[in-house]
Amino acid sequence: QQSAEDLARVPANSTSNILNRLLLSYDPRIRPNFKGIPVDVAVNIFINSFGSIQETTMDYRVNIFLRQKWNDPRLKLPNDWRGSDTLTVDPTMFKCLWKPDLFFANEKNANFHDVTQENILLFIFRDGDVLVSMRLSITLSCPLDLTLFPMDTQRCKMQLESFGYTTDDLRFIWQSGDPVQLEKIALPQFDIKKEDIEYGNCTKYYKGTGYYTCVEVIFTLRRQVGFYMMGVYAPTLLIVVLSWLSFWINPDASAARVPLG
Protein backbone atom coordinates (compact mmCIF):
# COMPACT_ATOMS: atom_id res chain seq x y z
CA GLN A 1 0.00 0.00 0.00
CA GLN A 2 1.31 3.43 -0.95
CA SER A 3 2.09 6.00 1.70
CA ALA A 4 0.79 9.56 1.66
CA GLU A 5 4.21 10.80 0.53
CA ASP A 6 4.27 8.32 -2.36
CA LEU A 7 0.80 9.28 -3.52
CA ALA A 8 1.58 12.98 -3.35
CA ARG A 9 4.42 12.46 -5.82
CA VAL A 10 2.23 10.57 -8.31
CA PRO A 11 1.05 12.80 -11.19
CA ALA A 12 -2.67 13.45 -10.97
CA ASN A 13 -3.39 11.96 -14.37
CA SER A 14 -4.82 8.64 -13.18
CA THR A 15 -8.35 8.25 -11.89
CA SER A 16 -7.25 5.35 -9.71
CA ASN A 17 -4.52 7.44 -8.12
CA ILE A 18 -6.94 10.31 -7.54
CA LEU A 19 -9.42 8.03 -5.78
CA ASN A 20 -6.66 6.53 -3.67
CA ARG A 21 -5.51 9.98 -2.62
CA LEU A 22 -9.03 11.06 -1.74
CA LEU A 23 -9.67 8.02 0.44
CA LEU A 24 -6.25 7.81 2.07
CA SER A 25 -7.27 9.70 5.21
CA TYR A 26 -11.04 9.67 4.63
CA ASP A 27 -13.23 8.51 7.53
CA PRO A 28 -16.80 7.62 6.44
CA ARG A 29 -17.91 7.60 10.08
CA ILE A 30 -17.59 11.38 10.27
CA ARG A 31 -19.93 13.69 8.41
CA PRO A 32 -18.63 16.56 6.24
CA ASN A 33 -18.10 19.83 8.15
CA PHE A 34 -17.94 17.91 11.42
CA LYS A 35 -18.84 20.21 14.35
CA GLY A 36 -19.58 22.89 11.78
CA ILE A 37 -22.57 23.90 9.71
CA PRO A 38 -25.17 21.22 8.85
CA VAL A 39 -24.82 19.26 5.63
CA ASP A 40 -27.47 20.30 3.10
CA VAL A 41 -28.65 17.35 1.01
CA ALA A 42 -30.63 18.20 -2.12
CA VAL A 43 -33.16 15.49 -2.94
CA ASN A 44 -34.56 14.66 -6.36
CA ILE A 45 -36.92 11.83 -7.35
CA PHE A 46 -37.79 10.35 -10.73
CA ILE A 47 -40.88 8.14 -10.63
CA ASN A 48 -40.69 5.18 -13.01
CA SER A 49 -44.04 3.67 -12.05
CA PHE A 50 -46.87 4.52 -9.69
CA GLY A 51 -48.94 1.58 -8.49
CA SER A 52 -52.68 1.75 -8.02
CA ILE A 53 -54.06 2.74 -4.64
CA GLN A 54 -55.15 -0.22 -2.51
CA GLU A 55 -58.31 0.59 -0.53
CA THR A 56 -58.06 -2.53 1.64
CA THR A 57 -54.49 -1.96 2.87
CA MET A 58 -54.51 1.82 2.32
CA ASP A 59 -51.16 2.03 0.59
CA TYR A 60 -49.56 2.49 -2.80
CA ARG A 61 -46.35 1.28 -4.44
CA VAL A 62 -43.83 3.26 -6.46
CA ASN A 63 -40.64 2.47 -8.35
CA ILE A 64 -38.28 5.44 -8.22
CA PHE A 65 -34.80 6.78 -8.84
CA LEU A 66 -33.81 8.49 -5.59
CA ARG A 67 -31.08 11.08 -6.09
CA GLN A 68 -29.19 12.83 -3.30
CA LYS A 69 -26.55 15.52 -3.72
CA TRP A 70 -24.33 17.07 -1.06
CA ASN A 71 -20.89 18.63 -0.71
CA ASP A 72 -18.02 16.84 1.02
CA PRO A 73 -14.89 19.07 1.09
CA ARG A 74 -12.74 16.00 1.73
CA LEU A 75 -13.56 14.75 -1.78
CA LYS A 76 -12.56 17.92 -3.60
CA LEU A 77 -10.37 16.97 -6.56
CA PRO A 78 -6.72 18.13 -6.43
CA ASN A 79 -5.75 21.31 -8.28
CA ASP A 80 -3.33 19.32 -10.46
CA TRP A 81 -6.16 17.11 -11.77
CA ARG A 82 -6.42 17.66 -15.53
CA GLY A 83 -9.23 15.26 -16.28
CA SER A 84 -12.99 15.67 -16.39
CA ASP A 85 -14.77 17.83 -13.82
CA THR A 86 -16.93 14.81 -12.98
CA LEU A 87 -15.81 11.33 -11.99
CA THR A 88 -18.25 8.46 -12.58
CA VAL A 89 -17.31 6.01 -9.86
CA ASP A 90 -18.08 2.32 -9.43
CA PRO A 91 -20.87 1.68 -6.89
CA THR A 92 -18.46 -0.31 -4.70
CA MET A 93 -16.92 3.01 -3.63
CA PHE A 94 -20.29 4.04 -2.21
CA LYS A 95 -19.60 1.93 0.86
CA CYS A 96 -16.38 3.89 1.51
CA LEU A 97 -18.08 7.29 1.70
CA TRP A 98 -20.16 9.09 4.29
CA LYS A 99 -23.79 9.23 3.20
CA PRO A 100 -27.05 10.67 4.55
CA ASP A 101 -29.15 8.30 6.65
CA LEU A 102 -32.35 8.90 4.71
CA PHE A 103 -35.41 6.73 5.24
CA PHE A 104 -39.05 6.93 4.16
CA ALA A 105 -41.13 7.82 7.23
CA ASN A 106 -44.40 6.36 5.90
CA GLU A 107 -42.84 3.29 4.30
CA LYS A 108 -44.35 -0.17 4.79
CA ASN A 109 -41.96 -2.17 2.65
CA ALA A 110 -39.00 -1.35 0.42
CA ASN A 111 -36.24 -3.03 -1.53
CA PHE A 112 -33.18 -2.16 -3.59
CA HIS A 113 -32.65 -3.47 -7.13
CA ASP A 114 -29.54 -5.46 -7.97
CA VAL A 115 -30.20 -6.93 -11.44
CA THR A 116 -27.84 -7.23 -13.15
CA GLN A 117 -25.81 -5.44 -10.50
CA GLU A 118 -26.57 -2.94 -7.75
CA ASN A 119 -28.60 -0.12 -9.28
CA ILE A 120 -26.49 2.68 -7.79
CA LEU A 121 -24.91 5.56 -9.69
CA LEU A 122 -22.15 7.62 -8.05
CA PHE A 123 -20.65 10.91 -9.28
CA ILE A 124 -17.88 12.95 -7.64
CA PHE A 125 -17.45 16.52 -8.87
CA ARG A 126 -14.35 18.70 -8.86
CA ASP A 127 -15.64 20.93 -6.04
CA GLY A 128 -16.39 17.96 -3.76
CA ASP A 129 -20.07 17.60 -4.63
CA VAL A 130 -21.32 14.02 -4.44
CA LEU A 131 -24.34 12.77 -6.40
CA VAL A 132 -25.85 9.38 -5.63
CA SER A 133 -28.74 7.86 -7.56
CA MET A 134 -30.34 4.55 -6.62
CA ARG A 135 -33.35 2.58 -7.81
CA LEU A 136 -35.92 1.59 -5.19
CA SER A 137 -39.34 -0.02 -5.01
CA ILE A 138 -41.36 1.20 -2.03
CA THR A 139 -44.78 0.54 -0.57
CA LEU A 140 -46.02 3.65 1.26
CA SER A 141 -49.00 4.11 3.53
CA CYS A 142 -51.78 6.43 2.37
CA PRO A 143 -54.79 6.86 4.69
CA LEU A 144 -57.87 7.14 2.48
CA ASP A 145 -61.11 9.05 3.00
CA LEU A 146 -63.73 7.13 1.03
CA THR A 147 -66.72 9.23 2.11
CA LEU A 148 -67.28 10.54 -1.43
CA PHE A 149 -66.39 7.29 -3.22
CA PRO A 150 -66.37 6.95 -6.22
CA MET A 151 -66.10 10.71 -6.77
CA ASP A 152 -63.34 11.15 -4.21
CA THR A 153 -59.93 12.79 -4.35
CA GLN A 154 -57.06 11.30 -2.36
CA ARG A 155 -53.83 12.92 -1.16
CA CYS A 156 -50.93 10.52 -0.72
CA LYS A 157 -47.65 11.55 0.87
CA MET A 158 -44.05 10.45 0.53
CA GLN A 159 -41.92 11.58 3.50
CA LEU A 160 -38.12 11.51 3.47
CA GLU A 161 -36.55 11.83 6.91
CA SER A 162 -33.18 11.54 8.62
CA PHE A 163 -32.97 8.64 11.04
CA GLY A 164 -30.02 9.58 13.24
CA TYR A 165 -28.80 13.08 12.40
CA THR A 166 -30.65 16.03 13.93
CA THR A 167 -31.12 19.34 12.14
CA ASP A 168 -27.86 20.50 13.75
CA ASP A 169 -26.00 18.04 11.51
CA LEU A 170 -28.14 17.36 8.45
CA ARG A 171 -30.87 19.09 6.45
CA PHE A 172 -32.86 17.70 3.54
CA ILE A 173 -34.03 20.18 0.92
CA TRP A 174 -35.86 19.68 -2.35
CA GLN A 175 -33.71 20.28 -5.39
CA SER A 176 -34.62 23.54 -7.08
CA GLY A 177 -36.60 23.43 -10.29
CA ASP A 178 -38.40 20.14 -10.72
CA PRO A 179 -37.55 17.90 -7.74
CA VAL A 180 -40.11 15.18 -8.48
CA GLN A 181 -40.37 14.09 -12.10
CA LEU A 182 -43.54 12.27 -13.05
CA GLU A 183 -44.04 11.50 -16.72
CA LYS A 184 -46.40 9.23 -18.66
CA ILE A 185 -47.88 7.62 -15.57
CA ALA A 186 -51.27 5.96 -16.17
CA LEU A 187 -53.39 4.51 -13.36
CA PRO A 188 -56.47 2.31 -13.93
CA GLN A 189 -58.79 4.21 -11.54
CA PHE A 190 -57.08 7.54 -10.81
CA ASP A 191 -55.77 10.59 -12.62
CA ILE A 192 -52.50 12.05 -11.39
CA LYS A 193 -51.09 15.26 -12.83
CA LYS A 194 -47.67 16.81 -12.49
CA GLU A 195 -49.10 20.25 -11.71
CA ASP A 196 -51.00 18.84 -8.71
CA ILE A 197 -47.80 17.77 -6.91
CA GLU A 198 -47.11 19.69 -3.70
CA TYR A 199 -43.88 19.97 -1.71
CA GLY A 200 -43.48 20.64 1.97
CA ASN A 201 -41.31 20.50 5.06
CA CYS A 202 -42.23 17.96 7.73
CA THR A 203 -39.37 18.39 10.22
CA LYS A 204 -40.25 16.36 13.32
CA TYR A 205 -39.48 16.65 17.00
CA TYR A 206 -38.82 13.55 19.10
CA LYS A 207 -38.69 13.97 22.85
CA GLY A 208 -35.25 13.21 24.21
CA THR A 209 -33.36 13.44 20.91
CA GLY A 210 -34.44 16.64 19.16
CA TYR A 211 -35.52 17.83 15.73
CA TYR A 212 -35.01 15.70 12.63
CA THR A 213 -35.08 17.01 9.09
CA CYS A 214 -37.92 15.81 6.88
CA VAL A 215 -39.28 16.79 3.48
CA GLU A 216 -42.44 15.53 1.85
CA VAL A 217 -44.16 15.39 -1.50
CA ILE A 218 -47.95 15.12 -1.76
CA PHE A 219 -49.61 13.48 -4.76
CA THR A 220 -53.23 14.41 -5.52
CA LEU A 221 -55.14 11.54 -7.11
CA ARG A 222 -58.60 12.13 -8.58
CA ARG A 223 -60.69 9.04 -9.12
CA GLN A 224 -61.90 8.46 -12.68
CA VAL A 225 -65.70 8.63 -12.46
CA GLY A 226 -66.01 7.29 -16.02
CA PHE A 227 -64.46 4.01 -14.90
CA TYR A 228 -67.34 3.46 -12.47
CA MET A 229 -70.01 4.91 -14.77
CA MET A 230 -69.32 2.21 -17.34
CA GLY A 231 -68.38 -0.58 -14.98
CA VAL A 232 -70.88 -0.08 -12.13
CA TYR A 233 -73.53 2.59 -12.68
CA ALA A 234 -74.55 1.70 -16.26
CA PRO A 235 -74.99 -2.07 -15.61
CA THR A 236 -76.85 -1.38 -12.34
CA LEU A 237 -79.19 1.09 -14.05
CA LEU A 238 -79.85 -1.39 -16.84
CA ILE A 239 -80.78 -4.11 -14.36
CA VAL A 240 -83.18 -1.78 -12.53
CA VAL A 241 -84.86 -0.72 -15.79
CA LEU A 242 -85.27 -4.35 -16.85
CA SER A 243 -86.84 -5.19 -13.50
CA TRP A 244 -89.46 -2.46 -14.05
CA LEU A 245 -90.58 -4.06 -17.31
CA SER A 246 -92.45 -6.69 -15.35
CA PHE A 247 -95.02 -4.05 -14.34
CA TRP A 248 -96.07 -3.66 -18.00
CA ILE A 249 -96.62 -7.38 -18.55
CA ASN A 250 -100.06 -8.93 -18.16
CA PRO A 251 -100.44 -10.23 -14.58
CA ASP A 252 -101.67 -13.55 -15.94
CA ALA A 253 -98.42 -14.06 -17.89
CA SER A 254 -96.47 -15.38 -14.91
CA ALA A 255 -93.98 -17.24 -17.09
CA ALA A 256 -92.87 -13.95 -18.66
CA ARG A 257 -92.82 -12.02 -15.38
CA VAL A 258 -90.63 -14.42 -13.41
CA PRO A 259 -87.41 -14.01 -15.48
CA LEU A 260 -87.69 -10.21 -15.20
CA GLY A 261 -88.47 -10.25 -11.47
pLDDT at 64 exceeding the cut of 50: yes
Task: Give the pLDDT of residue 163.
Answer: 97
List the alpha helices (DSSP H) in the chain.
4-9, 15-23, 225-228, 234-244, 254-260
Q: Are residues 74 and 135 in the same domain?
A: yes
How many structural domains are present in the chain? 2
Helix (H, G, I), strand (E, B) or coil at 19: helix
Give the number of other CB atoms < 10 A from CB of residue 90: 11
DSSP sequence for 60-109: EEEEEEEEEEEE-GGGPPPTT--S-SEEEE-GGGGGGS----EEETTEEE
Q: Which pLDDT band, with edges at 50, 70 and 90, does 251 fall under?
A: low
The one-character DSSP state at 230 is I
Least reliable range by pLDDT among 39-43, 107-111, 188-192, 206-210: 188-192
Q: Is the pTM of this model over 0.85?
A: no
Task: Give the pLDDT of residue 259.
Answer: 63
Query: What average pLDDT does this structure show over 119-142?
Result: 96
Q: Are residues 152 and 230 in the same domain?
A: no
Q: Are residues 86 and 214 in the same domain?
A: yes
Q: Are residues 169 and 239 in the same domain?
A: no
Q: Are residues 180 and 234 in the same domain?
A: no
Q: Are residues 245 and 158 in the same domain?
A: no
Q: Are residues 86 and 174 in the same domain?
A: yes
Task: Give the pLDDT of residue 7.
Answer: 46
Q: Are residues 211 and 242 in the same domain?
A: no
pLDDT tens per residue across span 33-61? 999 999 999 999 999 999 878 999 999 99
Q: What is the CATH number of the domain that holds 101?
A: 2.70.170.10
Give phi and psi for 258, each to the nearest 5.
-60, -50
**What domain range includes position 246?**
226-261
Contacts of 232 (CB under 8 A, 6+ apart): 150
Side-chain half-sphere exposure of 144, counting CA atoms within 13 A: 21
